Amino acid sequence: MSNIRVCALFRPLNSKEICDHGDNVSISAVDSDSFLFKDEKEEEIEFHFDRVFYQGSEQANIYEFLALPIVTGAVNGVNGAIVTYGQTGAGKTYSMEGPSIMDCDENKKGLLPRVVDGLFSAIRLSGEMTKYTINLSMVEIYMERVRDLFDLSKDNLLIKESRAQGIFVCGATNICISDSAEALRSLSIGIANRAVGETQMNMASSRSHCVYIFTIQQELKKEKRSGKVILVDLAGSEKVEKTGAEGRVLEEAKTINKSLSALGNVINALTGSPQGRANHIPYRDSKLTRILQDAFGGNSQTALLCCCSPSSSNASESLSTLRFGARAKHIKALAHVSLTEDEDTKSPGALPMIKDESCERILEKLRQKMKAEDVELLEQLFVLEGIFFDPNSVEEVEAAYEDATSRTILSLQRRVEELIATVEELKEENKALKSWIRS
């Protein structure tokens, strides 16, 4: 078990910052993994990360340190996630895509095209004995709705969980890609469909969280493996007085900030509980935290790139980003190789996971008779234990409902019996105590 990898990136000063505030910066380098940050009160705070990329850092260096280990792991069946975080205009999308996803300048290519090249390069080096298939899907979380960027008619997709797949977006379009060129063409189509808007801090500000999902299926002689690489370009946190947002853009900003706040709460919950004590992690508070559940608390190698402006005019926002990264650095990663079972290798007693449509029918039946929070807990339990099956008839749905209800009632009955026994013991103790007092 190891900590997630966290890096800080400081982009160059932009023309507006230089024009309004000169070349004053809030950071001074110490070495390759630490620096001093000067806050609004001119007080210096020292930060330490796995690596710090200062102004003028090469995109290739960021990829090699941050993303390459994750790409290598995914090709071998280990899930990975790369997340860019920071205020609006801090360089997140540039770090992810570069000037353009189709830009041919090797020096300026962002993480996304380099990950594409890295995946196919790793596959070529693996030899001909292993068969690989790569699928690509691309969604955005806009105004708390998950939209398919390859099929805009799918504008409210569900986020689900299974023991085999972990967290996944149900119904998202999957495109099988055979080479880097095909992948980049598909990505450019999806990026063109992404929600963007203009603010005073960014001419093309992302108005959604964008999620790129690469699924790599690996067929070996005796087993199948499946690895995922998820890249997440988060929309930036915004201060209305700086962005000048109003109308629809203001509503978007409120939703963005709310989801980022939910992400902060998840990080705090993951790192704030006393050692050895369980803590409730509020993954379901937003679509963003739900889709990132595996990245921060499940089976994944995760890397976080905290993007910051070096300008002293943005010291408050940059400090918030750096503190988020410093907290996230304490999260432990739980990555392991994901094996895919097929019909020939499943154990005889194993029950197949329920189909999504059938699952929903059962859950809807439960919702009619039980509280919503109880149904949600049952759903999580059923998925984790793998006890969902594929009911092909209404009678089987009813049976599933009755079975779940019976288990719940039995559990409650046992608890009631325990409480009754406890009450009887207390009565006897009370009776004995009264006798002792009278004597």
Strands 301-308 and 80-85: parallel
The verdict on whether residue 88 carries a ligand-binding annotation is yes
The verdict on whether residue 239 carries a ligand-binding annotation is no
The verdict on whether residue 244 carries a ligand-binding annotation is no
CA–CA dist 98, 115 (Å, integer): 12
Give the tokens for residue 53: 């990329």
Task: Give strand pairing partners of 239.
Answer: none
Strands 80-85 and 2-3: unpaired
The verdict on whether residue 91 carries a ligand-binding annotation is yes
Give the tokens for residue 29: 């380098």
The verdict on whether residue 349 carries a ligand-binding annotation is no
> In 273-387, which ranges are continuous DSSP H helix?
287-291, 293-297, 315-328, 356-369, 372-385
Residues 6+ away with beta carbon under 8 Å from 151: 173
The torsion of the CA quartet 185, 85, 165, 213, rounded to 10 degrees, works out to 0
Cβ atoms 87, 309 nearer than 8 A: yes
The verdict on whether residue 247 carries a ligand-binding annotation is no
- The one-letter amino acid code at 215 reads T
Residues 6+ away with beta carbon under 8 Å from 179: 120
- The one-letter amino acid code at 194 reads R
Q: How many CB atoms lie within 10 A of CB 329?
A: 20
Please compute Rg for the chain using Cα positions.
Answer: 26
- The one-letter amino acid code at 370 reads M
The verdict on whether residue 190 carries a ligand-binding annotation is no
CA–CA dist 286, 74 (Å, integer): 27
Give the tokens for residue 100: 């353009």
The verdict on whether residue 80 carries a ligand-binding annotation is no
Residues 6+ away with beta carbon under 8 Å from 400: 362, 365, 389, 391
CA dist 303 → 75, 355, 412 (Å):
17, 32, 43
Q: Residue 314, CB half-sphere, CA atoms under 13 Å: how many?
A: 33
DSSP 64: I
Say if residue 228 is exposed, middle or buried (CB neighbours under 10 Å; 0-12, 13-18, 19+): buried
Give me the DSSP letters along 97-125. Answer: H-S-TT---TTT--HHHHHHHHHHHHHHH
Give the residue numbers of the binding site for ATP: 86-93
Give the residue numbers of the binding site: 86-93
